[in-house]
Chains A and B, each alone.
Chain A
Amino acid sequence: MGVRKKYLANVATLQYSSDKCTGCGRCVEVCPQGVFAMRDKRAAITDKDLCMECGACALNCEFGAITVNSGVGCAAAIINGMITGSEPSCGCGDTATGCCG
């Protein structure tokens, strides 16, 4: 297995419309999984299954070319969210949960 590790296939909610891309390269700069690469002065998705939905690209794309349903990929947080009916959120900082390295 290479440097980049993949999680489940076909679940990532990443959406990219290349017609809005201006080729600034911000998405390539911020993605820690190498999902984006520059091809012909525009960003292109290399492998969507690498996406972990952190949301850095969508937040930093000035041109609204990227959307992703981002959130914490932490089982404890999601279970908490299911029980309390709220958005999953890490317990870090509030209580002594083990979440977040």
Chain B
Amino acid sequence: MQTLKFVKKEVPPYVKGSVATPAGAVHRVASDWSRADTWGMIKSRIGAFRMNYSVTPGLYAVGDPTKDSDVFVTANYKLTFDTLRRELKDMNAWVLVLDTKSINVWCAAGKGTFGTDELIKRITEAKLDTVVAHRRLILPQLGAVGVNASAVQKKTGFRVSFGPVEARDIPAYVRAGYKKTPGMSLIRFSMLDRLILTPMEINPAMKKFPWVAAGILLVFGLQPSGLLFRPAWAGGLPFLVLALIAVLDGALLTPVLLPYVPFRSFAIKGWVVGVLSTFLAVQYMDIGSSNAQNMILLIVAYILFPALSSYIALQFTGSTTFTGMSGVKKELKIGIPLYIGAAGISLVLMIVFKLKEWGFVRNTLRT
């Protein structure tokens, strides 16, 4: 009754039968994606449930693997697992899934959950030494951030090879006799790669947007006679639009155009895009005419919104493939005081604007 342990009440739909091994029955998984798998991929990309999209850790089979078949190690984020089993189509292989708390290989390796200890534990639990006769493991290259290959070999006897960065290169890698071309070792970060990541930049920023919008409407709507809707809307609308543009500048435009925006600093990239789009946007808006009060608003717009775009663009460092901690720390050290300064100056200018609007201060700023 050894096999019963593996047969859960609810077998996931991608499991198609099982393969008998000396260590018990192992679930066989399909290589083709079902509609549910595709829908799950879309939902996790837009952030609907990405934090709990997982596969039960352990050993799986693709095709009809034998004791001589390759063992591929992966994370239990379902999108990662799905990508691997799709690329292993028409191959016979074992897949060892580590418990990475439903996080992709690279991030999990950075955290240590895709790590040396977890790998050793799963090799032992799956009794991998009885399932296969060889002692080779193929890991995704980005797992090297968390897995010490020589420690794994000392503990388990399995020799770790770090395969290609991308699962799609696995068939070519295997055909070439487990040799990577230089291209297989490098991370590509194409415009499409960056575009795919932007919903996860836009979503968190937009969650805060209602507060920003409320703040803007409050500032413009506040009058000596109370909170009035008409000035709130008429005065606040251009700022609402500018704020929305700044969010899209930082979370969408800068990431997508990343290599084409000058400067290496993400803060400066975001600021440049912010200044340009603020400049374009105010051409179509009723701020910045000759009147001194509007001049204040125009100055606030140029101080505040590029800074907002810059700050949001800086967040994208967490999603890129080439930014390091030392660089981001340097950017923050210089950036944060500037952001606070920009917010402070904007606040002071808005107070001056309101006082002038209410007629408490005469137009002394006219030049």
Contact = CB atoms under 8 A, between A and B. Distances in A.
B362 interface: no
Interface string B80-113: 0000000000000000000001111011011101
Given A30-B144, A59-B145, A69-B326, A8 B264 contact: yes
Interface string B309-344: 000001101111111111111111000100000000
Given A90-B110, A97-B204, A101-B319, A11 B150 contact: no
Interface string A58-76: 0110100000011111111
A74 B104 contact: no
- Chain A: interface secondary structure? loop
A56 B183 CA distance: 18
Contacts, number: 166
Nearest to B259: A1
Contact of A98 (B110, B111, B183, B203): B203
A98 B318 CA distance: 9
Given A59-B144, A90-B107, A100-B103, A74 B185 contact: no
Given A5-B322, A8-B264, A62-B150, A75 B328 contact: yes
B328 A74 contact: yes
Contacts of B332: 75, 78-79, 82
Given A73-B317, A73-B323, A75-B332, 12 more contacts: A8-B327, A30-B162, A32-B142, A33-B186, A34-B185, A52-B322, A76-B315, A78-B329, A93-B111, A98-B200, A99-B318, A101-B319
Interface of A: 1, 3-9, 11-13, 26, 28-34, 50-56, 59-60, 62, 69-79, 82, 88-90, 92-93, 96-101
13 contacts: A5-B258, A8-B265, A29-B161, A29-B185, A59-B144, A59-B147, A60-B144, A60-B147, A70-B145, A74-B315, A75-B318, A93-B111, A100-B319
